[in-house]
Amino acid sequence: MNTAIDIKEINEKIERESAFIDLLSFEMGKVIVGQKHLVDSLIVGLLADGHVLLEGVPGLAKTLAISTLAKIVDAKFNRIQFTPDLLPADLLGTLIYSQKKEEFVVKQGPIFANFILADEINRAPAKVQSALLEAMQERQVTLGDVTYTLPKPFLVLATQNPIEQEGTYPLPEAQVDRFMLKVVINYPNRAEEQLILKENIAQEFPKPNKVLTPDDIIRARQVVKDVYMDEKIEKYIVDLVFATRFPAEFGLDNLVPLINYGASPRATISLAMASKALAFIRRRGFVTPEDVRALAKDILRHRIGLSYEAEAENLNTDQIINTILNAVQVP
């Protein structure tokens, strides 16, 4: 009985605290036509304190979506264009000798912002990509002997182009695993494309309003943690992740030769946190299996290693995740 009362209280609290989501979605919708999945994924990443990797062909508003979100939250936003000649110091900053002070002083790099757009992240070599690792995981940067804490909230939103692979540096598994979500973006439909056309040839392009502050986001993240998750949902999340590691235990013997390695424990944590954030966005005080299923592909697709056999059969991780979702029992 107590649990029922608690859930009712949580529901009312979430309903009250998530009122800004409608406003946030409305402001995003002014600038971004369609792409609901992209917008929802960015908001999930923002509320669950997770980084987002966007993959899609050029011109699908990846950069625009991220810069628009930064404007709405009134946060400091820096765009870093990743190129083959980029150095870690171009990203993190460096120590510069000051003749006036006769000592080395710190010149902070563009990483010191709330929102970082790592544009075409796979165009920079491994040493630059690895320079991001400490920032993404520990939310700090070490320059010389001193460690600097990054501002809160801190969110890396990286884009990569799936079609031009010449001269690119595929992200190593350790780096990819730091991204909570990998979102694949597709073309808009005909009606959306026509609306995009109208907006872009009009006298003035729509501008979003600042409706939130970074402090609002930090507060909302605390509320997201209050969203109730039943033990059965926790077990379901663990089962989904374990099915990527030991498919035979779930009667998926056909997947054994197709998977080199399964998702890490970070996937389990990410799926739980993102599910709570999605329930919050849907203005609900508890997580349902549908929340978990809606996020499974975005959380798992970059954390499963395919074997040569899977690649020879032209299989991708999304197809494997679909098979797992159909096999694992839903609570």
**pLDDT recorded at residue 235:** 94
Reduced DSSP (H G I as helix, E B as strand, rest coil) percent helix, strand, coil of the chain, to 5: 50, 15, 30
pLDDT tens, residue by residue, 145-191: 888 899 988 999 888 877 666 667 777 777 788 899 999 888 888 88
**pLDDT recorded at residue 164:** 63
| C-beta atoms surrounding 230 within 10 Å | 15
Position 2 pLDDT exceeds 50: no
Residue 201 lies in a domain: no
pLDDT tens, residue by residue, 64-107: 888 888 888 888 889 998 888 888 888 888 888 878 877 778 88
Q: Which of 4-13, 168-177, 249-258 has the highest mean pLDDT?
A: 249-258
Position 292 pLDDT exceeds 90: yes
Percent of the chain scored above 90 by pLDDT?
22
Pair 150, 108 in one domain? yes
**pLDDT recorded at residue 4:** 52
Helix count and strand count (H, E) for the chain = 14, 11
pLDDT tens, residue by residue, 259-268: 888 899 999 9
**pLDDT recorded at residue 290:** 93
**pLDDT recorded at residue 1:** 38
Structure tokens, 153: 């909230």
CB 38 within 8 A of CB 32: yes
Alpha carbons within 13 A on the beta-carbon side of 254 = 7
Pair 170, 242 in one domain? no
Residue 216 lies in a domain: no
Structure tokens, 303: 């954390």
Residue 30 lies in a domain: no
Pair 98, 160 in one domain? yes
Pair 53, 157 in one domain? yes
Question: Which residues constitute the domain of residue 123?
Answer: 35-187
| C-beta atoms surrounding 300 within 10 Å | 25
Residue 29 lies in a domain: no
State the total domains in the chain.
2
Pair 167, 98 in one domain? yes
Query: Greater confidence, 199 or 116?
Result: 116
Residue 202 lies in a domain: no
Position 280 pLDDT exceeds 60: yes
Chosen domain end from 161, 187, 213: 187
Buried-exposed string 178-208: b where 16+ CB fall within 10 A, e elsewhere: bbbbbbbbeebeeeeeeebeeeeeeeeeeeb
Chosen domain end from 129, 164, 187: 187
Pair 156, 267 in one domain? no
pLDDT tens, residue by residue, 191-207: 888 888 887 887 777 78
Report the alpha-carbon distance of residue 112 to residue 286 in Å, rounded. 35
Position 3 pLDDT exceeds 60: no
Q: What is the CATH number of the domain that holds 312?
A: 1.10.8.80
